[in-house]
Chain A
Amino acid sequence: MKRVNVFCLLCFAVFFFVQSCKKDDEVIQNGTTTVVPTDTTKPFAPTPYLVQIPVGLPLDYPIPSPLDNPLTVEGVELGRKLFHDKILSKNNVQSCGSCHSQLFGFTDEAKQFSFGASNQKGERNSMPLFNLAYVEKFAKTDHRFFWDGGAKNLESQVLGPITNPLEMEETLTNVIDKLQKHPQYPALFKKAFGSDSITTAMLMKAIAQFERIIVSGETRFDYFKLFGDQSKLTAQEKRGLELFNTEEKADCFHCHSLSGAFMTDFLFHHNGHQSSDPGLGRITNNPEDKGKFRTPSLRNLVFTAPYMHDGRLAKLEDVVEFYNSGAIRTYPADPFITKHPNGLGLTSDEKADLVAFLKTMTDSTLITNTNY
C-alpha cells in the first residue's frame, strides 16, 4: 500500500512538471485564457496539489485535469471555500454543499428533489459528486455532466446551479460583484490565479478543481476484485456479484461494467423507467435519445438514496425490484432491458443477495475525508 502511494506521488510530480511546461505553450497559443500575474515582485507560483489515489481507481495517471486548470493547493482551497459558501446564491441562503452534502455522498440528504434559494422545488434528484474527473476522461462523447449529459466539463457545469432559476437563482454579475467586495476572496483568488480582479472563468476553475479532488475507491469490493482477497466478501455478497454478472440472471454488468473502476459504461441508456423526462433527448433533440440518462456509478449507494434521476426509488430493494419486475420491456427501453421480456425472475433470496453485493461498494472515507 505505502509503496503504491509513493509511486502515485511521483507520478503526480512528473505530471505536474509536464503540465506546467505545456502551460507555457498555452500562453503563446491562447492569450485570452491565461492569467497573467499582477504582482511582479513575487512570481505567481501556486503549489501543485497531490491527491492520494484510492486503491480501486486507476494508478497509471493522476487525477485528470484540463491543461489550463491544473490542480493547485491554492485553487483547491479556494474551490472548497466557494463550494460551501452561500454567497453564490440569491440572498445568500444556499451553497453547493446545501444540495451536495458530504455525509450523503455529496447528494441532498435523503430528499427526492432539492429546493432552491426561494424554496422552489427542483425537477431531478441531486447527484453524488466523486470521481468526476474520470467522467471527463472516459466519457465517449461531449455529453458528460448532469443526468442528461448537458454539461461538457466541470468548469462550465459550475454555472448551471448558480444561474438555474430552480436552484441558486443568482446572476453571474452579482456573484462576481459580491466576491470582489468580500474581505477575503480577492486575496484568495490572487493566490490561486495570480490576480485579485475576479472573473467568471476563475470562479469556474476554482470550484472545478475542488470537485476533481473528491475521489472514492476504498471499498471491500475493490480489495476483493484487485487482490483476490476472499475474506472481503461474504458468501451472500459473492452470490450477489455472480447474479450481477450473469446474463440469464440480474444481467447488470453490460451497463454497470465491473471491469473498470467506475461501475458504468459512461454511456446513456433508457433503463425501462416510465418517467416523461426527455433526458439526453433534451440536449440532442434526437428522438432516439429520449429518456436516456447517464449510467451512474454504483459506488456509495448506501449514502446516496433515493435513486434514479427522479429519485423515485427509496431503497436498494426497490431498485432491484424495479429491474426485476417494474421496468418496461419494450422500446424505448434499452435492448439490455427488453431482452428479458418477462422480467428477470429473481427469487427473493436472489434479490437480497444482489442488494447485499451492491452494499460492498461502499467507501466510508468519502464521508469522513477532511480534505473535502
Chain B
Amino acid sequence: MKKSILILLCSTVLLIVQSCKEGDKDDNTTATSSASTTGSTFESGITYNSKGKLTLMFNPTFGAQAFELSPKSYVTAAADTIRITQLTYYVSNVTLTTSAGNKINLGNYELISQIPGQQAKVLLDSIPAGCYTSISYMIGVDSLANSTGVHTGALDPSYGMYWAWSTGYVFLRLKGRFTSQNTAYSFDIGGDGNVMNVNHDLSNYKTGGTALTANINVDVAKFFNTPNKYDLKTDAIDIHSAGVPSIAKLKVNIANAFNITAIQ
C-alpha cells in the first residue's frame, strides 16, 4: 500500500517535470527567482523552475465599490438595497493543471472570512516545478470531507459552518439585511450537489518565479446578477438546506464572481 502510493506520487512528479520541458522552448534557467512580469522569458501560464509558492488573495468588492460590512448598503441589479453582515466560505481542493493537462491537487481546506481591512489569503506551499495553465478550486468541500465532520483545522465544526441536522459543511454563508423591507436575508449554501467549482485560465499570464501572488476579485454584486438576476423580492431570502430551488441560480453566479485580476 505504502509503496504503491509512493510510486504513484513519483510518477506524477516525473510527468509534470517532463511536460514542462516539452512545453518550454525558451531556456528557463535564465529566468530564475525574480517575480518578473516581462513575460518574454516565460511560456504561457505560470512557471516554477523549482518548488515554489503561490498565495491566493481574495479581495471582495461590490461591483466597483469597496467591500464593507453593514451599515454600508449596496444596490443589487434587481434594485434591492442590501447590507452585508457576514461573508464566509470554504476554499478547498486547489488544483493546478499543467499545459500537458496533468492535474496536481494541493489538498487544502481553508475557511475564508471576508472582513474589511483583513487579508484573506490561502498560501499554497511546495508547488512542484512546472508550468501551469489553469488553477481551479472548490467554494465548498468535496463529498468525502463533507461526510463526517470528524476533522480538525479549518474543517473543525466549531467554526459554525456546519449543519448537524443534515450532515455537512456550510460551503458559503452570506447574510445581512435587505433594507427596503428591513428583512433579514441569509444564505447558507451546502450539500454535495452545490459545490461551486471555480476555474481560472492562466494561459494569458506569462510569468514565473518562486513565490507568486494571485489577486482574486470576489465581486459580491455578481452574486445577485451574473448571469442570473437574483431578486430578493421574489427569490428565496432564507436558504438553510441543500435543496432550496433558488440555490441553482446563486451557485452559478457565485462561481462567476471569482476572477483573477493580477498575478505577480
Contacts and interface: CB of A to CB of B under 8 A. Distances in A.
Contact of A285 (B149, B158, B167, B241): B241
Given A28-B2, A200-B157, A152 B165 contact: no
Contact of B158 (A157, A160, A200, A205): A200
A29 interface: yes
Interface of A: 25, 28-29, 32-33, 66, 68-69, 142, 146, 150-153, 155-160, 162-164, 171-173, 176, 199-201, 204-205, 282-286
A289 to B, nearest CB: 10
A153 B156 contact: no
A151 B167 contact: yes
Q: Is the interface of A mostly helix, strand, loop or mixed?
A: helix
A151 B153 contact: no
A155 B5 contact: no
Q: Is the interface of B mostly helix, strand, loop or mixed?
A: loop
Interface string B117-154: 00000000000000000000000000000011111110
A48 B153 CA distance: 28
Nearest to A208: B150
A218 to B, nearest CB: 31
Contacts of B109: 32
A29 B149 CA distance: 17
A156 B167 contact: yes
B148 A157 contact: no
Contacts of B153: 32
B174 interface: no
Contacts of B162: 159
A28 B9 CA distance: 13
Nearest to B154: A32
Contacts of A199: 152, 156
Nearest to A158: B164
Given A28-B5, A285-B241, A156 B152 contact: no
A117 to B, nearest CB: 16
Contact of B150 (A142, A155, A171, A282): A155
17 contacts: A152-B148, A152-B168, A153-B147, A153-B148, A156-B148, A156-B149, A171-B160, A199-B152, A199-B156, A200-B156, A200-B157, A201-B151, A201-B156, A205-B150, A282-B166, A283-B242, A284-B243
B4 to A, nearest CB: 11
B152 A146 contact: no
Contacts of A162: 164
Given A150-B166, A153-B167, A285 B151 contact: no
B163 to A, nearest CB: 8
B168 to A, nearest CB: 8
